[in-house]
Chains A and B, each alone.
Chain A
Amino acid sequence: MNIFLKQSRRKPIFTIFMIILLCLSLTLSLIGFSAYTSMQKQFNDINGDYTTIAVLQESIPEGTGNAFGENFLELAKREFEAFEKAQKAPMLKKEEARVYLTAHVPGSVSLSSSRIDPSELNQPYFDDDMYSLCVFAVECKSVEETVFLDMISYDAKLEVIEVISLSSAYDWYPEITEVSLSSMDYNADGSIPIKAGSKYLIYGSYGEYYTMPIIESFRDVESTDGKKMYSFGEGYMQLRGEFGTRTIEPAAALSDIGLYNGHRISGEKDGLTYYYSLEDQLPWIAEYTGTVDEFLESEEGKVWKEEIIPLCRKNQEGALVALTDNLDSIYPFSVGSSFILEGRKFNEKEYSGEKNVCLISSDYAMINGFEVGDKITLDLYSSGILWLESGARDNSAVYTGEQGGFMIRVPIRPKNSINLCKEFEIVGIYSTPRFSFGPTSFDADHIIIPKKSVPNAEQYLGTYYQDFTSFILENGTIDEFEQYMSEQGYPDMFIYNDQGFSEMEETLLALEANAKRMMTLGMSVFALITALFLFLNFRRMMPVIRGVRLLGKNAGRTRNEVFAVLFMEETISVIIGTVLAAVLYNSVTSAMLSETIALDFKNLLSAAAALLGILGILSFMLSGILSNVKLMKRK
């Protein structure tokens, strides 16, 4: 028989009230705890919505004029050192470097400039060869050789028989009937590979140039078959250029972008220099007779049909792919000049690579008719990117100043395939200033995918690693980071953006402080009431403990009996308290419809179990101590 249990039962009001008292304090503590966990969750959630970045500021002046000057090297070294120091900053949360790949998106149309607005850029210098690779069937009308210094070159006027492969970006009024060819690419023996009156297939880079800007009025209309046409003379005012020349540059001349791997060598004829391609390279010109189809079916035409034309198509259907672990770490997205227009950003699961998803620009979506939820196939290549330091303008027709550097993709070559071709679901469409410039530029021809979609994506980080790196800082540590960098000797090297976190910080701090206070309050009340509970219980039990000990019951047994009763009362209190807390908290928070604030049963149960554990241990210890009461009365 447990005498202490009897004692409890004999004074039911006292016992019940004790249980109620403890149960209420547990309810308070558990509500406090639940509020704490949900506030913490909210804090993390809101905190997670903000990304604070530090991006290395461009300290090298624009233009290539002083690119190799002393100052340039010094500045570049300093940038590099500052970058290295930043990598070791204690407030650095993550170093996020964008990786760039190129994708062939079968069936798509790529986003060359003129695609969007005919008045905008439509020249090779901006669009460059990845968009303008083409194969034309032409008839040579005239060839003229010129000598400049010690180099020879030739100009040919070509009549277009058939456009075999060309990006549809150039498919507009007026029709392409003539192109000019200006080249230094000769045959190996120094003879000109083209002569008047013959028909050729030419593989090269197509370009259109404008002359003086004029103001025209036009509007875009769609023909019945859905093809885009432009009607001049009515509609709204738009700046555009007047047509100048259309050119084709031999593909062999594109060695500087890696298409020909530098296998274009110089030869000499009569003391003058010319260039020719090695035989193992793809041809850029082939003479033919008969029809184009006949030629393509012939042995000589095989390389054109199976390699050159598909390569052109892949490039015309290509896009740059940016791989990131955090969209908001990309400067334009961070500052809001680029933003999600439709759909959403990636979520945690998608960043972890669980699903193949992508973001495309609104321009790309419009041109291809893609919508959120559509799937596109990306066949990925590590062709690399090129940084063009200058020469770009924001509008080909209207010169509004040099814009600075911009990035282009290098044409796709089969050997650069990373052997990864899969479908990506479009989850969002973003808007970005079209054809932006500068080191943090982010163009509309980027398809963004989570970095984890590609295994070991980091191996494709290129030369521009530093330019594409954002240092993600702990929110609210901009000042600390700047101070750290100053202490390292590199002040004012970084540009920061916290997406408005500093304005939200006060609220978040209040939220965090509240969470802590809630928790502290709950725990303090719990501690106090536990003390009271044990005090009152032992005050009641002490004479009985003494009594049974005097009767010869040993301390251990007494302790166990006392503990059993206390633990029973505590267990009842914890059960009722937990249920009460869950019911109260849940009924309050379920009306809020906020996921983060909702009751987390698992957490609540763990907390309740922990509290019961604490109560149990305390009761056991005190039962042990007090069961060893001195039987001699104090004098």
Chain B
Amino acid sequence: MNSLSAKEVFYEYRNSFQTVKAVNGISYNFESGRVYAVVGVSGSGKTTFLSLLAGLDIPTEGKIEFDGNATSDIDRDNYRLNHVSVIYQNFNLFYHLTVLENAAYPLYVKKMPKAAAEELAKEKLLKVGITESQFKRLPNMLSGGEQQRVAIARALACGSEIILADEPTGNLDSKNSRNIVEILKNLAHEENRCVIIVTHDPSVAEAADIVLKMEDGAFEDSI
């Protein structure tokens, strides 16, 4: 089982005029098979923390450890490609690729043969409730919920142990939200993945195994 932990993590955004402390000394150990919800007001540093977990950057101080290795020491591109998948509120799909191509894209990057990649992508798409007739559509022909499912399918196809979701239901109605949350829960519970969701939505937070409340760049306590 892979482990993901934050140790005394600090992160600052700097520009010419000011320095903003976005993450302010977080230490936490995430376990697989669980759904974590990170909640907090806007500007509390949730997304920044999530991005650090995703290995988009390294903490200004402290470290994020995956399998005991700090993200600052490992190949973060490889880490993102093979171990972490991020799902965004605005889906971040490639709008010139079809649903199937979007889902299979990380596999192409991994140099998996096209047929195999597409086979796996199809399986994941079907799993999240995308029908075969939608495979050849371009993302903007789908609803928000469907687009988010494609994003999840892309994350699943990667086979990442850690699924990070940044407001995955932010753009969705309650029914779609419930479906997405259900999918993410299943991933944690049935496939033993570690799912970390950053959200405002109380219903999403309720569905999580562990809720982490963030304020001024630090966890208050777990709920």
A and B: real partners? yes
Chain A residues near B (Cβ < 8 Å): 633-635
Residue of B nearest to A635 (CB): B141
CB distance from B142 to the nearest CB of A (A): 8
Q: Once bound together, how far apart are the Cα atoms of A278 and B187, in whole Å?
A: 140
CA distance A634 to B143 in the complex (A): 10
Contacts A/B (CB < 8 Å), 5 sampled: A633-B140, A634-B140, A634-B141, A635-B141, A635-B143
> CA–CA, A634 to B140, complex, Å?
7
A residues near B143, Cβ cutoff 8 Å: 635
- In the bound complex, residues from chain B placing their C-beta under 8 Å from that of A635 are 141, 143
User: Digit string of B122-140 for contact with A (CB within 8 Å is 1, else 0)?
Assistant: 0000000000000000001
Chain A residue at minimum C-beta to C-beta distance from B138: A634
CB-CB nearest in chain A for B143: A635
Neighbouring A residues of B141 by C-beta, 8 Å: 634-635
How near does chain A come to B140, taking the closest CB pair, in angstroms? 6
When C-beta atoms are compared, the residue in chain B nearest to A633 turns out to be: B140
A634–B141 Cα distance when bound, in Å, is: 7
Question: Closest residue to B141 on the A side, CB-wise?
Answer: A635
Q: Which residue of B is nearest A634, CB measured?
A: B140
A101 to chain B, nearest CB (A): 84
CB-defined contacts of B140 to chain A, threshold 8 Å: 633-634
Distance from A407 Cβ to chain B, minimum over Cβ atoms (Å): 86
Q: How far is the CB of A9 from chain B (nearest CB, A)?
A: 17
**A230 vs B143: C-alpha distance in the bound complex, in angstroms?**
117
**Distance of B173 from chain A, by nearest CB (Å):** 14
- On chain B, the residues within 8 Å of A633 by CB distance are 140
Cα of A635 to Cα of B140 in the assembled complex, Å: 7
Shortest Cβ distance from A332 into chain B, in angstroms?
A: 76
Q: How far is the CA of A634 from the CA of B139 in the complex (A)?
A: 11
In Å, the complex CA distance between A633 and B141 comes to 9
B165 to chain A, nearest CB (A): 23
CA distance A361 to B140 in the complex (A): 88
Q: Bound complex: CA of A437 vs CA of B81, how far in Å? A: 102
A4 smallest CB distance to B (angstroms): 22
Distance A452 CA – B141 CA, assembled complex (angstroms): 78
A633 to B140, CA, bound (A): 8
Q: Least Cβ distance of A539 to chain B in Å?
A: 12
* Cα A211 to Cα B140 with chains together (Å): 114
Complex: A633 Cα to B146 Cα, angstroms: 15
Nearest Cβ on chain A to B90's Cβ, whole angstroms: 11
A635 CA / B147 CA spacing, docked (Å): 12
Bound form: Cα–Cα A635–B143 in Å: 8
- Give the complex CA separation of A545 and B143 in angstroms: 21
CA gap between A634 and B95 in the complex, in Å? 13
Interface residues of B in 129-168 (CB under 8 A from A): 140-141, 143
Output the least CB separation between B86 and chain A (Å).
22
Residues from chain B with a CB closer than 8 A to the CB of A634 are 140-141
Min CB gap B88→A, angstroms: 16
Cα distance, A634 to B137, chains bound together (Å): 13
Complex CA gap A42/B195 in Å reads 77
**Distance between B131 CB and nearest chain A CB, rounded to angstroms:** 15
Bitwise interface map of B from 51 to 84 toward A, beta carbon under 8 Å scored 1, else 0: 0000000000000000000000000000000000
- Give bound CA distance, A458 to B192, whole Å: 110
Alpha-carbon separation in the docked complex, A635 to B144 (Å): 11
Nearest 4 A/B pairs, CB to CB: A635-B141, A634-B140, A634-B141, A633-B140
* Separation of A334 and B143 alpha carbons in the complex (Å): 83
Whole-angstrom CA separation of A621 from B141 in the bound complex:
28
Closest A-chain residue to B142, C-beta based? A635
Expressed in whole angstroms, the Cα–Cα distance for A156 and B141 within the complex equals 125
Q: How far is the CB of B53 from chain A (nearest CB, A)?
A: 29
Q: Nearest Cβ in chain B — how far from A635, in angstroms?
A: 6
**Chain B nearest CB, measured from A550 CB (Å):** 15
| Complex: A345 Cα to B61 Cα, angstroms | 91
Q: What CA separation (Å) do A307 and B140 show in the bound complex?
A: 109
Kindly state the separation between the CA atoms of A229 and B162 in the bound complex, as whole angstroms.
126
Instruction: Report how far A635 CA is from B146 CA in the complex, Å.
Output: 12
Nearest neighbor of B137 in chain A, beta-carbon distance:
A635
- In the complex, how many angstroms separate the beta carbon of A542 from the nearest chain B beta carbon? 13
Distance in Å from the Cβ of A10 to the closest Cβ of chain B? 14
A635 to B145, CA, bound (A): 13
CA distance A416 to B72 in the complex (A): 114
Residue of A nearest to B140 (CB): A634
User: What is the bound-complex CA distance between A1 and B89, given in angstroms?
Assistant: 30
A633 to B147, CA, bound (A): 14
In the bound assembly, the distance between CA atoms of A633 and B144 in angstroms comes to 11
Query: 0/1 per residue, B202-219, Cβ < 8 Å to A?
Result: 000000000000000000
Interchain nearest-CB distance for A544 vs B (Å): 16
CB distance from A346 to the nearest CB of B (A): 70
Distance in angstroms between the alpha carbons of A479 and B205 in the assembled complex:
93
CA distance A387 to B143 in the complex (A): 101
Q: A634 → chain B, closest Cβ, in Å?
A: 6
The smallest C-beta distance from A631 to any residue of chain B, in angstroms, reads 15
- In the bound assembly, the distance between CA atoms of A235 and B140 in angstroms comes to 108
